[in-house]
Amino acid sequence: MKRAIVVTTLLLAGCGGGGGDTPEKDPQPAPRGGDPAPHLEALQRIADRNDGVRAAGSDGDRETVDYIVKTLRAAGLRVTTQPVRFPYFERRAPARLGDLKPEKEVRLAEYSGSGRIRALVRRLPRGGCSAGDFAALRRGEIALVKRGPCFFRVKAANAQRAGAAAVVVSDTYGRTPVAATLIRPGVRIPVLIVTRAAGRRIAGGRVAVDVDATSEERTTTNVIAETKPAERWVMAGGHHDSVTAGPGLNDNGSGVAALLALAQRLRDRPGLRFGFWGAEELALYGSRRYVRSLGSAERDALEAYLNFDMLGSPNGRVYVYDRDDRIERTLRDAIRGREDEVSLEGASDHAPFERAGIPVGGIFTGASERGRRRGPADPCYHRRCDALDNVDRALLARMTDAAERGVLDLIRARR
């Protein structure tokens, strides 16, 4: 995700579903090691075997989880997995409604059902917010209703129960149709939004509707690993999923590789926990699921949560999260060089922890915002070219070392 970025420059002097069912396709990871590069290469191989993606709920996602679990267990950590349900929507082609222009005159609602039909468009006098609004509709017709005053999902559910083949909502407020969501899967019929003028043109006529989309619930997996127990814990984490557009080797294969390397290096340190979160790219589903599962005593025992997301950006600049002052100072000292301060607000997996009252921090090396001198920090951000060659391996290695120093300093200073 990584949006809403606010940067303040600071110049410091340098000083001093889980994994059991997927067949193993990579050699068993070595118990020790600590180099992030082999993990990054393994994630690229996983993407290559799965149409170039590791997105939540995909085969590439399941292989990624399998690799993470095997690596952590080989390092001797106690590993648990946690299923994460999330709503999935994919539009495979532009929605068609008669001769209306896609996006300019007609737009598909998120979580719409699919279908290909040709039917009469029945204009209804009300907004479709109650079952009675569809009294004049005949089964198999397309219902045309006005926008407002209830949720789009309510209109769609009422139309579906009334036997509509599709529902079209006339947007009375704008020159282009509003971007609408049905909130979650469950509506089976096509739901389209049109401009007021377009609604007038199709009313009373027979038109073709063609919607090719997937709207369903899917499952991904969180992976949690622990060293020997202690009264208080330091936790480090990052998301393991990519976007559907590409393999996500910087975002966030780099964070996964760093975390696995840290787990191998710090396996003997008590009170250290690692989290690998699913479906971050969709709405932080994995980290939110994990934090919700914690009891009050478990939350209180978390001394700090550190988020590692995009640690090898090409043209990268090093940032520390502007959240908890103590953690921020620790990470700045650990980086041993020049870094900036970044406010990612709720745009990555630290946000659910912070909302639960857990101190948070993290390291980040830049997404699509522009650096002062070097152009886009990551021109492949959320694109298919976010592959192995897109990762600055030297920067990733440096950030992994800095993350190790920061984690160790927080463990030593544990209250």
Mean pLDDT check: name the lowest of 162-171, 230-239, 315-324.
315-324
Per-residue pLDDT, averaged over 398-410, amounts to 97
Q: Are 152 and 191 in contact (CB under 8 A)?
A: yes
How far is CA 11 from each of CA 82, 336, 337, rounded to the nearest angstrom? 41, 11, 8
pLDDT reading at 213 higher than 70? yes
What confidence tens digit (pLDDT) does each residue in 219-275 have?
Answer: 999 999 999 999 999 999 999 999 999 999 999 999 999 999 999 999 999 999 999
Which residue, among 357, 221, 376, 339, has the nearest Cα to 294 in the 3D structure? 357
DSSP category for residue 141:
P
Mean pLDDT check: name the lowest of 5-14, 142-151, 191-200, 398-407.
5-14
Encoded tokens for 79: 């590993």
Q: Residue 282: helix, strand or coil by DSSP? A: helix
- Report residue 376's pLDDT band, with 50, 70 and 90 as the boundaries: low
Q: Which of 110, 141, 226, 280 is catalytic?
A: 280
| pLDDT at residue 6 in the model | 37
Per-residue pLDDT, averaged over 68-95, amounts to 97
- The rounded Cα 342 to chain-centroid distance in angstroms is 19
Q: Is 368 left (phi over 0), alpha (psi -120 to 50) or beta?
A: alpha
The amino acid at residue 260 is: L
- The rounded Cα 411 to chain-centroid distance in angstroms is 29
| pLDDT at residue 15 in the model | 28
Q: At what angle do helices 254-265 and 59-74 cross, to 10 degrees?
A: 20
- What is the value of pTM for the model shown? 0.84
Q: Which residue has the higher pLDDT, 234 or 25?
A: 234
Encoded tokens for 311: 């640690």
| pLDDT at residue 27 in the model | 45
pLDDT reading at 216 higher than 70? yes
- What's the CA angle centered on 378, arms 236 and 400, to 5 degrees? 30
How far, in Å, CA of 266 to CA of 268, rounded? 5
pLDDT reading at 17 higher than 80? no
Question: Taking the CB of residue 215, how many other CB atoms lie within 10 A of it?
Answer: 22
Q: Which residue has the higher pLDDT, 314 or 5?
A: 314
Phi first, then psi: what are they for 311, rounded to 5°? -105, 5
DSSP category for residue 82:
E
Q: Which residue bears the tokens 């393994």?
A: 42
pLDDT reading at 316 higher than 50? yes
How far, in Å, CA of 341 to CA of 369, rounded? 14
- Contacts (Cβ under 8 Å, ≥6 apart) of 393: 37, 40, 312
- The mean of the pLDDT values for the chain is 90
Encoded tokens for 159: 């139309």
Q: Residue 207: helix, strand or coil by DSSP? A: strand
Q: In 87-99, which positions are buried (b, 16+ CB within 10 angstroms) versus exposed (e)? A: bbbeeeeebbbbe
Please indicate whether residue 226 is annotated as part of the active site: no
| pLDDT at residue 21 in the model | 35
Q: Are 362 and 321 in contact (CB under 8 A)?
A: yes
| pLDDT at residue 1 in the model | 60
| pLDDT at residue 338 in the model | 80
What confidence tens digit (pLDDT) does each residue in 259-315 have?
Answer: 999 999 999 999 999 999 999 999 999 999 999 999 999 999 999 999 999 999 998
How far, in Å, CA of 70 to CA of 73, rounded? 5
How far, in Å, CA of 374 to CA of 55, rounded? 29
Q: Are 174 and 150 in contact (CB under 8 A)?
A: no
What confidence tens digit (pLDDT) does each residue in 33-57 have?
Answer: 699 999 999 999 999 999 999 999 9
DSSP labels, 68-80: HHHHHHHTT-EEE
Torsion of CA 202, 205, 206, 208, to 10 degrees: -10
The amino acid at residue 192 is: L
What confidence tens digit (pLDDT) does each residue in 380-396 have?
Answer: 999 999 999 999 999 99
Per-residue pLDDT, averaged over 24-28, amounts to 46
| pLDDT at residue 375 in the model | 53
Beta strands in 240-386 (DSSP E): 272-277, 302-308, 319-321, 339-343, 360-364, 370-371, 375-376
